[in-house]
Structure 1
């Protein structure tokens, strides 16, 4: 018999009754019922119930061991009997009467329970992540991640893509976030940058003639954590294709996502094909470039209705309306709670009216609306008895953010929200440029994107009117990926960067390799990079991305288990030609 096991803890069945077996695993739980000791033994594959009877060496050994100790046991498989079958376990028809026990690894007192979710705080869980990963939910999440990545590789290969690796140590690139940098020992005063994405290298692979590339790529960005973004590092399905237009990129990715979410979505419906929504339309209708289409409500721009109005709350402002059917009979509490929610999103309040069966409007602002206002609102919003309308007014971006959140919340509260479904969409036609906080023109998305209209658009149009061949894929309000048709012509690239404030010499220096390659016959190409962590987060129905990563950093980009980041001693600093200047205490 094998030194540690003849079977796994998820393998034994009624057909194995009377077999002599050897199992190894962790002591998951222990119960003493009427003097008989029942032990749940757990390994990667499942749980098997063990039985130890009083007066036996096995009883004495198992009774003293702490939970989560690892043991090897020998014993005989016996039937539990019909009345004692545990239908929640695949091994629930049998148990193993233990004859011999060997302690393989004793467990110290546990910082939190393993066999139950006890609400321990995240910092504690991350400090003892190796224990946290023993919990059923976390173990299941990581296995789901493994299965998803394996399926992605299989499906991408079947779609004709070739898996390739790109460098980790490279040069800095203006991807929109801070780089993690690595000092060069052999080149004093110089630094590598960890890739924010394999952007330039995957484009160079297309120029090299490989046509269809993919990679499960590690990416590194020195940015703050949030629920759908892990600080430090993350993984993405990096994809690039040659001789393609936008729709050529959409087709294989849409097929991949549909199959992936159908396979691992536990029966949740995947809506297909994915609608294409222009960025400006998404902002107007949904208040977000990451629209959650499960919410079956849309915002309507009614700014023009109140131009020149004497109603000061709306006059001279951008005004958005949210018509909600079948809620006019809701109690006042419904409206007050939605108003409180709007305030929590940054609003000063939430104006609203009800529509009576005769078409008249009632509510806090009804008296400020003229007959012309009411007639135009009724027509524009297709109002009828039972409707309520919620209003937001202010600056465009502010109103979009607040009313976009109100749209989803109202849909959930009013029964206009789809459950158990994955609603995908493509958001397209992003602006090429935007103004930063200082009023400077900057790239709004990927700086390597091809502008719609090419060089002519860059030379003749207002930069803020230029659209890029840029696109996002969104699912249930979560942005899974950004992508673009790339700028592969040197003069267009130089002009695009010039508009964003980069002179020719700077661009030639920072992107020397890329520009040199473009000058040797670059194919039109494009790509995308869906986030693996976010895909698994959606499939696992987890609200926080760290619940799908085996060893994530905490919100302060610290590894509490390994103690990273760490300080370097003077010897190592001298070797790297570095000195440390710590910030002065405030």
Structure 2
């Protein structure tokens, strides 16, 4: 193969313009396609900036023409030649470089390539597992390179804004103490401390609080975090977040600064103007009207609570649910009263996936009211439901009766599904909202105790402090999440900074003083040395870029992601390890598990 000796790239392929007409350029890249027209060979040469056409002919340089006859798709080339205008009949308006071409005066074949397992082009129709196995080829595709370039620009904008606003970027440890109060930790055995383990950080939470105590009062980090949890389209076992913490700032100041950060990022990277201030709703409001603490506000369709309207009816399903402390809520789907019965039956099955035992419906058609519960509720009640829901002729009302949690989950998902079916969602819209005042705790039925809804370092509202011991289920936190298009971008809170309050919160989630000291003693000791009021938040970088690019999966915006089984199909991680390695780490594998290790 040839080398680059004596050649130095002068331009990227996509950056050559008509201004270089008549000039010599040196280009490097991959063969996207090759077309042999007899005495002329056309090569589309690609690099990360785009594609340019190269023309080889024996009339220009015979040796290079012979090499051009040998090249195939994805060969790596270096080209030296003159930029010239294309003939008018051959101009390609679909290419940014479509008016020019490079006459090949010298070609060097830097490397050959096997035929790729899929075409290196956008919108390629190939199974994702193949794309992930050959990720280095998948990343050659222009849309994937665009995604990674966008990721770089977002991170650059973050650093630029935060630097201008007095923040310092500080790294925190990735080998930490295990504090299993949330998702499962990834554990790392310590060779030099037999029988002991580090944990990879689920977040830098405790360290950034310690940085506030140290006096570094505006910290940020684009941090790698690790959680051993079941995966979904927007989850990975390792992920990246923008982590921030600030001292001596009120919640209002933190929210305003964060809004300015979001505005700066979206304007710098996308040229999109986020309208400030971002709207704010409470957690109670979000759950009452949308059934979710991350509501998609690109469309309306709020819940209507019709429990009192149907409390005294003869419909046993509604009456039984209400008597057991449940509720009945409805959504109004505008202009969808002519829904086919088969589709209605499918909706019953749909909500069943989210725990609902049934679905009632009312169609306010031009030909009159149709409902499978008309005879149980009576026309007056049906009309009252329609009035409460703001229904008009042509609308469809869908109702679910169950425990509040089931109604929230099932009707919330149904709301989004009906918005999709009725084309209410503007895919080009960015609908931000803050969700404030989260409950401090939620009850874990399996463990029979309260657990922190966010984490146990979140400060309770001042007016709820006296409920920590007596009524933890009604304590609200100084917590906030930023939601975009129904996806939680991230969130945070004001933190506890007094040792006595932190101890009371630990007690509320069932940690004894001994347990608390064992897990978080270093933090509690730090509180004894003048901890300032502080708060912060963290944003999932992967999710944010996924939404900015309008992708469906964060795997499309991560260079080397894992599958939903936490497997890297390219490198085949996780993999077996040798027995010798385990012995060095003082790890013993049971006899029946010995097939999991190498000999």
TM-score tier (shorter): over 0.9
1:436 corresponds in structure 2 to 444
Q: How far apart in 2 are the matches of 1:9 and 1:582?
A: 58
**Is 1:182 matched with 2:203?**
no
Query: d(CA) in 2 for partners of 1:266 and 1:397?
Result: 40
Q: 1:420 aligns with which of 413, 418, 428?
A: 428
Root-mean-square deviation (CA, aligned residues, Å) is 2.4
Q: Distance in 2 between matches of 1:559 and 1:489?
A: 43
- Paired with 1:409 and 1:133, the residues of 2 have a C-alpha distance of 33
Structure 1 counterpart of 2:542: 533
| Matching residue of 1:483 | 492
**How much has 1:341 moved relative to structure 2?**
4.2
Query: Could you tell me how far 1:315 is from its partner in structure 2?
Result: 1.8
SS in 1 for 2:301: coil
Please show how residues 485-504 of structure 1 align to structure 2 within 5 Å. 485-504=494-513
Indicate the SS of the match to 1:76: strand
SS in 1 for 2:529: coil
Report what 2:20 is aligned to.
16
Deviation at 1:459, TM superposition (A): 4.4
Distance 1:417 1:447 in 2: 36
The one of 208, 232, 239 equivalent to 1:234 is 239
CA–CA separation in structure 2 for the residues paired with 1:582 and 1:236: 40
Aligned with 1:249 (options 254, 266, 276): 254
The partner residue of 2:280 within 256, 273, 276 is 276
Deviation at 1:395, TM superposition (A): 1.9
1:384-423 correspondence to structure 2 within 5 Å? 384-423=392-431
Instruction: Indicate conservation of the 8 Å contact 1:487/1:493, yes or no.
Output: yes
Q: Is the CA contact (8 Å cut-off) linking 1:302 and 1:320 kept in structure 2?
A: yes
Q: Distance in 1 between matches of 2:544 and 2:86?
A: 41
Match of 1:101 among 87, 103, 107: 107
**What 5-or-longer segments of structure 2 have no aligned partner?**
322-326
Query: What does residue 195 of structure 1 align with?
Result: 201
Contact 2:14 2:49 in 1 (8 A): yes
Deviation at 1:224, TM superposition (A): 1.9
Question: CA distance change for structure 1 residues 460 and 560 in 2, over 3 Å: closer, same or farther?
Answer: closer
SS in 2 for 1:421: coil
Q: Is the 2:468–2:475 contact (alpha carbons within 8 Å) kept by the matching residues of 1?
A: no
Are the structure 2 counterparts of residues 13 and 121 from structure 1 closer, same or farther at C-alpha, using a change threshold of 3 Å? same
Give 1:145 deviation, angstroms.
0.3
- Distance in 1 of aligned mates of 2:556 and 2:376: 49
In 2, the alpha carbon distance for the partners of 1:179 and 1:222 equals 6
Report the more deviating stretch, 311-320 or 518-527.
311-320
Query: Does the Cα contact within 8 Å between 1:295 and 1:412 map onto a contact in 2?
Result: no
CA distance in 2, matches of 1:52, 1:416: 53
Matches within 5 A, 1:84-483: 84-231=90-237, 233-265=238-270, 267=272, 270-317=274-321, 318-328=327-337, 335=344, 338-339=347-348, 341-343=350-352, 345=354, 347-355=356-364, 361-374=369-382, 376-438=384-446, 439-453=448-462, 456-459=465-468, 461-483=470-492
**In structure 2, what is the equivalent of residue 77 of structure 1?**
83
The CA distance in 1 between the partners of 2:316 and 2:39, in whole Å, is 79
**CA offset digits 1:9-33 (Å, max 9, x no partner):** 1222223223232211111111234
Asked if 2 retains the 8 angstrom alpha-carbon contact of 1:23 and 1:73, the reply is yes
CA contact (8 A) 1:181 1:194 kept: yes
State how far apart, in whole Å, the 2-side matches of 1:393 and 1:67 are: 60
Tell me which residue corresponds to 2:515. 506
Distance verdict in 2 for CA 1:299–1:15, change over 3 Å: same
- How big is each residue's C-alpha offset from its partner over 1:262-308, in whole Å with a ceiling of 9 and x where there is no partner? 333465x6353222222122112111111000121101122222224
- 1:501-547 deviation per Cα after TM superposition (whole angstroms, max 9, x unaligned): 11001101211110011111111111100111111000111100010
TM-score, normalised relative to structure 1: 0.93
Shift of 1:107: 1.0
Please give the per-residue CA displacement for 1:219-270, whole angstroms capped at 9, x wherever unaligned.
1111122111112x11111011112232221111111112322333465x63
Contact 2:56–2:104 at 8 Å: present in 1 too?
yes
Q: Distance in 2 between matches of 1:60 and 1:235?
A: 48
3-state SS, counterpart of residue 318 of structure 2 = coil
Contact 1:295 1:407 in 2 (8 A): no
1:38 aligns with 2:42: yes
Following TM superposition, by how much is the alpha carbon of 1:561 offset from its aligned partner in structure 2, in angstroms? 2.0
1:553 is aligned to: 562
Q: 1:432 deviation in Å? A: 1.3
Instruction: State the distance in 1 between where 2:412 and 2:496 align.
Output: 32
Aligned partners of 1:411, 1:583: CA distance in 2, in Å? Answer: 52
- Once residues 181 and 555 of structure 2 are traced to their aligned partners in structure 1, the CA distance between those partners, rounded to angstroms, is 23
Q: Tell whether the 8 Å contact from 1:270 to 1:423 is kept in structure 2 after alignment.
A: no
Answer with 35-44 or 333-342: which moved more: 333-342
Residues 475 and 311 of structure 1: CA distance in aligned 2, closer, same or farther (over 3 Å): same
Provide the aligned length of Structure 1 versus Structure 2: 582
| Residues 287, 293 of structure 2: 8 Å contact kept | yes
Contact 1:343-1:349 within 8 A present in 2 as well = yes
Deviation beyond 6 Å, 4+ runs, structure 1? none
| SS of the residue 2:268 aligns to | helix
Can you give the 5+ residue segments of structure 1 that lack an aligned partner in the other structure?
Answer: none
How big is the shift at 1:415? 4.4
Shift of 1:147: 0.6
1:313 is paired with a residue whose SS is helix
User: 470-479 or 95-104, which moves further after superposition?
Assistant: 95-104
